Amino acid sequence: MKLETVSTTAFWSGMSIVGTAIGASFLFALSHSAEPKHPDSASESDVNQIEIKLERVATDVEHNKVLLGDLKEEIRELRAEQHESSIEILEAIRNGD
């Protein structure tokens, strides 16, 4: 027996089951959304304070990245100057000046 089509009754039965499942999930979510949170969960004020502190830390980290980048550039420049000075000193020693 080859089943090429779905009967109207089977189709609407399946749609009813799917609709019921979606409706039940929606009602479950709505009915439990007003319940208080788990007693061990953090309060919203604590979460907001932590969020503000985290933003401050992120800002400080970004600022420190910029400072570190500037410092690295200055160190590179100092190394280049030191290398040039070392070459001049070695040449002066070789020439006997």
Tell me the residue range of the domain where 57 lies.
42-97
Q: Are residues 54 and 97 in the same domain?
A: yes
Higher pLDDT, 36 or 93: 93
Whether 34 has a pLDDT exceeding 90, the answer reads no
Higher pLDDT, 33 or 24: 24
Q: Are residues 51 and 86 in the same domain?
A: yes
Looking at the 3D structure of the chain, how many domains does it have? 2
pTM score above 0.75: no
Q: Are residues 30 and 55 in the same domain?
A: no
Higher pLDDT, 37 or 54: 54
Q: Are residues 82 and 53 in the same domain?
A: yes
Q: Are residues 58 and 96 in the same domain?
A: yes
Higher pLDDT, 40 or 31: 31
Q: Are residues 26 and 55 in the same domain?
A: no
The DSSP result for 2-62, as a single string, is ---S--HHHHHHHHHHHHHHHHHHHHHHHHHHTSPPPTTSPPHHHHHHHHHHHHHHHHHHH
